[in-house]
Structure formats: structure tokens, C-alpha cells
Structure 1
């Protein structure tokens, strides 16, 4: 039976090995993306605190003035006084020369240009200076992310990556079956690398021993990756857990009492939410899209379970009254799982220690297709030598022994 699983393991590895290697190497590069991006672009994210912070509404107005025609999708302010304010813009879509419409376009004349999330303005909170208009799709790390997720090849690349990830799941499964020892002596051999052996033995141990130790954690990476690659997999996962992905309906604002119907300011919203949660790491504001929607504020509490364990406040857009709030623990199971998938996949779930572990794991994952291929080549060459070796006469054999 193990011969069968060995062949399956080999053929799957040869089929998807290159894509698995690329995914693991790019994944390793992405683990500390946030830290490296902030480190190499310090001026974008950090300023020298000085004086009183500008009102958020004044910052938003300065950004709109600097980028005519742009709307404000989100404003994010950090508790750290040295951090810049981040203003996510909504910018009109550019016309496509070919005349083709994007998905979702109505094509009706007079509908006007639609808004979509565009660049991010990084603003000095003390001077109002727009330090940079930042576009993530134009960065080095976006290219790495695109290579990781869809091999820089759009939908086709995404499908190839998804299939390779699924194959990786079965590679890990068959690898555990092949590793499983029959005797105690074999077990001892398969839990440690014989560093003083020849290079072939070391290569075999790197593949077998380290493959065993990392398999359970690679299963987590593969499993979470599959939820993004295939909708059917994601639906099956949440269905099996009896979890719904549908969030609770957001509350609505009461009709405006003031004849002007003026919405509350960013600064008012900040004061309301800060009163409730004064020690949050950041506050993120989204203005209502119409006269009945609520003013939404998301924040990351100090000591949150992970970076996606945010709390959401819904404020009446006219009075500023808190209509409802929802902590991470109050979300339904499906929403909690969905928010946890990315931190699990990237290693951010427990902060820097788990990120370091994820980096090592990704680098080891990238070596397994290579060490496995070397094992296969060594076995193939050994078989060929045995087949090619002529029968040695007894006398000749005796002479050789002598």
C-alpha cells in the first residue's frame, strides 16, 4: 500500500512542486510586509509630534482640495501620536478605450462615473501636509502578493494556484502516511536529522523529518488558503460548522430633526467612540452612504485577540447617538472565523513570535519540492545503475573482493 501512496506523493509533487515553491517563497516575503513597508517608508507612516492635532474634518477637507473630484471612503486615526492619518479615497473610474464595461457597470447614459476605492492619502496630523498619495497596486509588495495569489496571471493564475494548493493538501496527507513508522527504531530515525550522514542521507532527513514536524502547521496554511481559492470550499467549510457568513444588519439612523439634515462630523464621532473605548489602537471612520444609514466606526481594542478582532460602533448620523455596537466576541461564528483566517494564514495571529514561526515554516515549505525531487532522482539513478550493471563472474567477483 505504501508503494501506491509513494507514487501518488511523487506524481503530485512533480505536478505542483514549482507552484508550491513559488507560493511558499512569496508567502515568506509577505509575512513581515507591514513591518518592512513601514521601516523602508518611515516618513509615510510616522511624523514628529508637535502642537495640537488638526480636526479630522479639516484633514478630510484638505485632502479633497488636493485631489479634486475624489470622495472620502474612510478616515483612520491612530492612538500613537507619531502616526500619520490615513485617508482612503474614492476616485472616479477611468473610461476604458475599448468601450468594454467592468462588472457592475450599468451602461446607462447619464449615470455618471462610479466611485471605487483608490489611493490613500497619508497626512501629517499636525500640519495637514499630504505626505504621500499612495497606491498599493503600484508597489513591489503588490507584485509579490499577485505572484503569491494568482501567479501574475489573473483568473487563470488563481485557478492554477488553487489547484496546486489543493494538491499540496494531498501531498501532506500522503506524506504523513509514508512517514508513519512500523517499528520503534524507525520512529527514532524519523524524528531527528542525521547531520553527520552523507549528503543523500541529510537530504532525505530534511525532507522526511522536517516535513513531519511542519506538516500540521502547513495543513493550517493550506486549509486557510483554500478558503480564498475556491468558493465551494469556503461554503462547504462554513456549512459544515453551521456558521453563517451573513453579518447582522446595520441599524438605521433616525430621520433628521434638523431641517438642514446635516451629518455629524468625524471629530464628533471620534469623541463619542473615544468616550466608550479610550484606549483603542486605532479608529476608522466610514460616513453613511445615504440619509438613513449609520455612521460607522471600527476600532482595534488594546489587547485584542488579533489584528482583525475589531469592534464596530454604529452612530446615528444626525444626533451622534450610539445605535449599536458589536465586539469581535459578539459576531456570529462565521464572521469570527472569516476574520481569523488571514491572521492564521499569515502568522499574525499571535504577533511577532508567530510571524517568525510562519516565516521559518514558509521557507521550509519551499525546500520540500526540491529535496523530494532530489530523493526521486537519487532513487532513479540507483535503479538505472543496477539495471545497467552486467553480471560479474564468480572469479571476477572473488578477485574484486580480494
Structure 2
């Protein structure tokens, strides 16, 4: 009977790193990845969960949209004295969709107000901390622990990259026969073998996308790609004039759109109006409505262009609905890997534990 070759020092080191780093960050990664899986379909699920916020109850068959300034005044009455920071014109506006208003503040301090653009009535108000996806995003990015949580998730991303790399080294087959075993699941095997297959086979197939998710996720914790310099126009204008409201209406509000348009309003510190459409941004003078800066994708720096791709690549939205679905499935595999890995380790530890009862009666 042939003796099994003992693993090399390098393989032992890689195995130890893979095991203990996985045990330390495994639970955090399961929670972060599970919340990320839900966030993959935020755009599709949020209108279903909050239909009154997104869609008008009546008047959706008319093209008579009320002036955007009137809708803003209605929203202010339900903002609890908070400044309205953003106006969101959804792609469904003009086809039954509401105009959405977001108050200033950190993620869990914001209120979300849906106003019927046909009669000006506030249809739904989602109070701070009550929006499922806002709460989920805060958990996903910061574990609801502020800067400390942001640091933890950043470290978790880096640690998981190490886990993926060491996992690939441990998985790497010596010959073609082993390669066949490690690229397919043996469904009629024992529970122990099935668990190993789910971990090894699922891990290797999901590794490229999990690596991409971790690399892009790091950009939110650490400023790897710096955007252009802070935007300063020194207009000393902090209120929108009737002229600018008219421009916003003609250019964005009354026009059909294929994607959401977000209008950032000026405040005490911000002396411009910014309009975001996908990867394009435009900056306007609050009083004169003059275009201060065209920051559309083609005109920004390469650094900023790269950064603009980080979220779409992180969520899968860069590849459309099919891409998001694939990301969702891969994320579920990612959630399972620390669990199946722990099961493998615990089984080996239990097996190595000496049988003290047999020794006692020997």
C-alpha cells in the first residue's frame, strides 16, 4: 500500500492561512454577502415593496404634470423641517410614476417622499431608517457601525481576496483525473463528500466574480481611485431661481427618459445644482441656469471614469439583468463557502479528537 505524500511546507502554510483567515472573517463575510445578494435587485424590488412611493394612485393617464416647484413645496410639508437634498425623476415619470424627494442627512437620517405629479399630493413618506434597502446598504457597507464598520468591511474584502487566492492554490489539481473530480459535484456521494464538493467546486467557479466584487468593494472603504478635485464654483448662490426651475423642467422633467435623473439641490455649503444621469453629471448655476461644467463620462478624467464603473461592476448592473442574476447566484455561493468550509474543518477536528473512553478501559 502506497504511503500518501506529505504536503509541503508551502501547502501547509497556505492551508493554515486559508483556514484561520476564513474562520476570523467568515461570519462577517456571510452577513455582508447576504445583504449584497438582496441589494443586487434593489431597483427591481423596491417599487414592488413600496408601490405607493413609486407610482401615482390616480391621474396617471394624463400628460398634465404639475410644475416641479409645486411638487417640491408639497414635499417640504412632510420633510420634518429637513432640507430637501435631491429630486429623483424616475424613468416611469409620465407613465404613472411619482416624483421622488430625498431629504439631507446621512443614509439612515434621510426621509423619502413620493409626490403625485398630477395632483401634487404627497402619496407616501418613508421615514428615516424605515427603508429596507437603505438600511440594508448601510449594513452592507458599514455594518451599521459608522467608520468602524466601514473599516471592518474593508479589511474583510482584503482578507477574502487572500482566502480566494489560497483556495485556488489548495484546489489546483496535480493531474487530469483530479481535475475532473474538482470541477463537478458528485451528487450521489455521502453528505460529507457533497459538502466538500460544494465548497471546492462552488468555490472555484465563483472565484473570479467574488474576486471582482471584493476588489470593487474595497474602493468604498479606501480611496484607491480619486475623483476629480472637489467641485467649487464660488457662485455664492444657494437658492434656485424661477429661470433655473424652468430650465430643469424643459431639459429633464418634461422629457421622456430611459433611466432615472437625479437633481441635487443647492444648500448653505453647496452653490450649484447638479444633475446625474447614469455616469454623466452636469453642474448648473442656481440663479442663471448657466451650465458651469459638463462632467459627462467622455469628458471626465480616466481616474474618474474607472471609479464610475466600480458600482456597476460590484453589483452586476454593468451586465444588465442577466448579469445581476448571475451575481446573485454567485453571491449565494459566496455565502455558503464559509459555512461549508467550517463544516469541513469541524469534521476533521472531530475526527482527530482522541477517544478517551476507549483509552480508559484499555
TM > 0.5: yes
- For the residue of structure 1 that corresponds to 2:113, the secondary structure is strand
- For the residue of structure 1 that corresponds to 2:15, the secondary structure is helix
CA-to-aligned-CA distance 1:169-194 (integer Å, 9 cap, x gap): 11111001111111121112111111
How high is the TM-score relative to the length of structure 2?
0.82
Aligned mates of 2:252, 2:200 — CA distance in 1 = 53
Aligned mates of 2:140, 2:272 — CA distance in 1 = 37
1:88, CA displacement in angstroms? 2.5
Aligned mates of 2:275, 2:140 — CA distance in 1 = 32
How high is the TM-score relative to the length of structure 1?
0.74
Paired residue for 1:296?
Answer: 274
CA-to-aligned-CA distance 1:303-346 (integer Å, 9 cap, x gap): xxxxx42x223344444344442322322122222222222222
Q: Quick check: 34-43 or 169-178, which moved more?
A: 34-43
1:150, CA displacement in angstroms? 3.2
Residues 211-226 of structure 1 aligned to structure 2 (within 5 Å)? 211-226=203-218
1:41 maps to which of 47, 50, 55: 50
Residue 60 of structure 1 pairs with residue 72 of structure 2: yes
1:373 maps to which of 325, 331, 342: 342
1:131, CA displacement in angstroms? 1.0
Residues 3-402 of structure 1 aligned to structure 2 (within 5 Å)? 3-47=12-56, 48=58, 49-51=60-62, 52-65=64-77, 67=79, 69-80=81-92, 81=94, 82-90=96-104, 118-229=110-221, 231=222, 234-235=223-224, 238=225, 244-247=226-229, 249=231, 262=241, 264-272=243-251, 279-289=257-267, 293-298=271-276, 300=277, 308-309=278-279, 311-384=280-353
Q: Which structure would you say has the larger Rg?
A: 1
- Root mean square deviation, CA, Å: 3.3
Aligned mates of 2:305, 2:21 — CA distance in 1 = 34
**Equivalenced residues, count:** 342
1:70, CA displacement in angstroms? 4.3
Gaps of 5+ in 2: 1-9
